[in-house]
Amino acid sequence: MKNRTGISQQLWQAFLIQAALISLVAISSIYAARFVVGDILIRRALQEEANHFWQLYEQDPQVSRANTYNLTGYLQPDDVVPDYLVNLAPGFHKLQTRQDALTTTYVTEEHGKKLFLEFDNKQVGNLALLFGMLPLLVILFIIYLSSWIAYRFSSRAVSPIIKLAREVENLNPASEGFADRLKQSLMINSNREVKTLSEALYGLSDRIEKFLERERSFTRDASHELRSPITVIKLASEMLLNDPLLDVRNLRQVERIRRNAEDMEELIETLLLLARESEKMLSSDLVSINDIVSEEIDRAGSLLEGKRVKISYIAHNHLNVIASDKVLSVMIGNIIRNAFSYTDEGEVKIVINGTSLIIEDSGIGIPDTQMDSLFRPFQRGKHKQRGGYGVGLTIVKMLSDRFGWPIQIESELSRGTRVTIAFPQGTPG
């Protein structure tokens, strides 16, 4: 499924997140003001009321107590003080009255008497919400309106890019005339920045199309030009092998020429396969890994001539893979030939177990410093005299990545190398 989250959706999400955060912060601030600022104001007012009362009391002990809608005063022992206030110590107290009203009571003591000032917090809370919410709604409306306008302008600014992306998405890069159709789609944009981007994309697509054409031409020409001399070498080798005048030593050398010509032909086909963009020309059949291993052991046998090397081939099961036999031959053959080439004595052990192929040798091994560059082209290490051009493992890695056959190489210098190829889609039997 394609990801449909585009620039327009991201702008809309950013607008919603911004609006939600602003609302959350603003509403939280109002409620904080109700409980924090309101409490501070009440305490300040009660302190001033108490100071004012004691100043009047010094002038006239019969001064009246505070008695308003929100504030009530009591003077002990002259007045009847409610039970829940009688034992309060001097200072501020928050109380829950019997009528479930939250009050702030301020107690002061002078001239041997106690003054109780009781303030109803409910009205202050309502006023804080009222005078806080109205400005908040106005501010939020202005913020939302400005954010929406900014979103509309931003959306209009990026809309040519969105349109351009949709037009490019509907084009098929693999089709003929892709660059021309892309140019027609790109050139209709009038926005200066988008037009610059369109021209850059057109130039890139034109270069890609030319590159693909050169690649197709090379594949076609190389397929013909490289196969012809290989075919001649193979035919000449077969004719020499049938010549009764050649002695055993020369026949052995001609046989090596013939086998290397076959290897070269197979390698050329593999390289051409890797150069193609699609796999339509690649035939896939049910191929036996066991048979491929046996064939490659026979073909690489000449590399062990004159060496004291034992070959152990153990197949715990039969393993079939739907793939090209040529691709498998190149991949497995490269690993086996490397094991034979770099093992002077000891054993080369080849094991098929489940869906894995393990090729282990007791050869010279690979230094730790070369493990990171093992799959780079033309990396041959210090044993260059053993032949090859340093592209074998590079091809193996390319085939591994392309067809989904993970390869793992473990090696220890002077102890040997262990190569494991996994065939996840393989069918063991």
C-beta separation of 343 from 307 below 8 A: yes
Q: Is the pLDDT of residue 190 over 60?
A: no
Q: By three-state DSSP, how is residue 5 classified?
A: coil
Q: What is the pLDDT of residue 362?
A: 93
Q: Check the CA dihedral 142-143-146-151 and report its sign.
A: negative
Q: Is the pLDDT of residue 385 over 50?
A: no
> Is 157 domain-assigned?
no
Q: What CA–CA distance (Å, rounded) separates 214 from 217?
A: 5
> Is 137 domain-assigned?
yes
Q: What is the pLDDT of residue 183?
A: 61
pLDDT band, very low/low/confident/very high, at 311 (cuts 50, 70, 90)? very high
130-144, 161-175, 406-420: lowest mean pLDDT where? Answer: 161-175
Within this chain, do residues 190 and 276 fall inside the same structural domain, yes or no?
A: yes
75-84, 235-244, 306-315, 376-385: lowest mean pLDDT where? Answer: 376-385
Higher-confidence residue of 68 and 151: namely 68
Within this chain, do residues 308 and 411 fall inside the same structural domain, yes or no?
A: yes
pLDDT band, very low/low/confident/very high, at 180 (cuts 50, 70, 90)? low
> CA-based angle 271:274:279, to the nearest 5?
130
Within this chain, do residues 20 and 137 fall inside the same structural domain, yes or no?
A: yes
Q: Is the pLDDT of residue 79 over 70?
A: yes
Threshold 0.85, pTM exceeds: no
Q: What CA–CA distance (Å, rounded) separates 426 from 404?
A: 11
Q: By three-state DSSP, how is residue 172 classified?
A: coil
Tell me the residue ranges of DSSP E strands in 297-378.
Answer: 308-315, 319-323, 345-353, 356-361
- Average pLDDT across the chain, whole number: 78
Q: What CA–CA distance (Å, rounded) separates 242 from 251?
A: 9
Q: What is the pLDDT of residue 45?
A: 84
The CATH code of the domain that includes 415 is: 3.30.565.10
The CATH code of the domain that includes 261 is: 1.20.58
Within this chain, do residues 268 and 290 fall inside the same structural domain, yes or no?
A: no
Query: How far is Cα of residue 326 from the mean position of the Cα atoms in its chain?
Result: 35
> Is 330 domain-assigned?
yes
Higher-confidence residue of 337 and 194: namely 337
Query: Which stretch, 68-82, 140-154, 184-198, 209-223, has highest mean pLDDT?
Result: 68-82
Within this chain, do residues 138 and 195 fall inside the same structural domain, yes or no?
A: no
C-beta separation of 254 from 235 below 8 A: no
CB-based contacts of 404, cutoff 8 Å, min separation 6? 424, 425
Within this chain, do residues 266 and 354 fall inside the same structural domain, yes or no?
A: no
Q: Is the pLDDT of residue 87 over 90?
A: no
Q: What CA–CA distance (Å, rounded) separates 17 from 13?
A: 6
C-beta separation of 182 from 168 below 8 A: yes
Within this chain, do residues 335 and 246 fall inside the same structural domain, yes or no?
A: no
C-alpha atoms less than 13 angstroms from C-alpha of 198 in its C-beta half-sphere: 25
The two tokens of residue 154 are 């931003």
> How many domains in the chain?
3
Q: What CA–CA distance (Å, rounded) separates 392 from 330?
A: 9
Q: Check the CA dihedral 367-370-376-382 and report its sign.
A: negative
**Mind listing the pLDDT tens digit for each residue in 326-371?**
889 888 988 998 899 899 999 999 999 999 999 999 999 888 887 7
Phi, then psi, of 315 in degrees rounded to 5: -115, 105
Within this chain, do residues 301 and 384 fall inside the same structural domain, yes or no?
A: yes
Within this chain, do residues 243 and 289 fall inside the same structural domain, yes or no?
A: no
188-202, 243-257, 326-340, 358-372: lowest mean pLDDT where? Answer: 188-202
pLDDT band, very low/low/confident/very high, at 318 (cuts 50, 70, 90)? very high
Q: What is the pLDDT of residue 188?
A: 58
The two tokens of residue 326 are 């040529």
What is the number of other CB atoms lying within 10 angstroms of the CB of residue 78?
12
Q: Is the pLDDT of residue 409 over 50?
A: yes
pLDDT band, very low/low/confident/very high, at 34 (cuts 50, 70, 90)? low
Domain that holds residue 218: 173-282
The two tokens of residue 389 are 């051009």
Q: What CA–CA distance (Å, rounded) separates 27 from 40?
A: 20
The two tokens of residue 274 are 């890797």
> Is 229 domain-assigned?
yes
Nearest to 75 by CA among 118, 45, 37: 118
Q: What is the pLDDT of residue 418?
A: 94
Higher-confidence residue of 245 and 273: namely 245
Nearest to 293 by CA among 367, 354, 349: 349
Within this chain, do residues 330 and 269 fall inside the same structural domain, yes or no?
A: no
Q: What CA–CA distance (Å, rounded) separates 358 from 351?
A: 5
> Is 155 domain-assigned?
no
What is the number of other CB atoms lying within 10 angstroms of the CB of residue 268?
15
Nearest to 388 by CA among 223, 260, 302: 260
C-beta separation of 109 from 115 below 8 A: yes
Which amino acid, one-letter code, is at 235?
Answer: L
Q: What is the pLDDT of residue 177?
A: 60
Quick one: average pLDDT of 303-319? 92
| DSSP tag of 63 | P
Cα distances from 72 to residues 11, 54, 111, in angstroms, run: 56, 15, 20
> Is 165 domain-assigned?
no
Q: What CA–CA distance (Å, rounded) separates 412 from 419?
A: 12
> Is 120 domain-assigned?
yes
Q: What is the pLDDT of residue 388?
A: 46
Within this chain, do residues 300 and 317 fall inside the same structural domain, yes or no?
A: yes
Point out which residues pair with 361 in neighbouring strands. Answer: 348, 417
Query: How far is Cα of residue 129 from the mean position of the Cα atoms in its chain?
Result: 47
> Is 167 domain-assigned?
no
**Mind listing the pLDDT tens digit for each residue in 102-119?**
788 899 999 888 999 988
Give percent of the chain with pLDDT exceeding 70. Answer: 71
Q: In what helix (H) or strand (E) does residue 166 lie, and over which residues does it extend?
A: helix 121-169
21-30, 186-195, 265-274: lowest mean pLDDT where? Answer: 186-195
Q: What CA–CA distance (Å, rounded) separates 312 from 325?
A: 23
pLDDT band, very low/low/confident/very high, at 389 (cuts 50, 70, 90)? very low
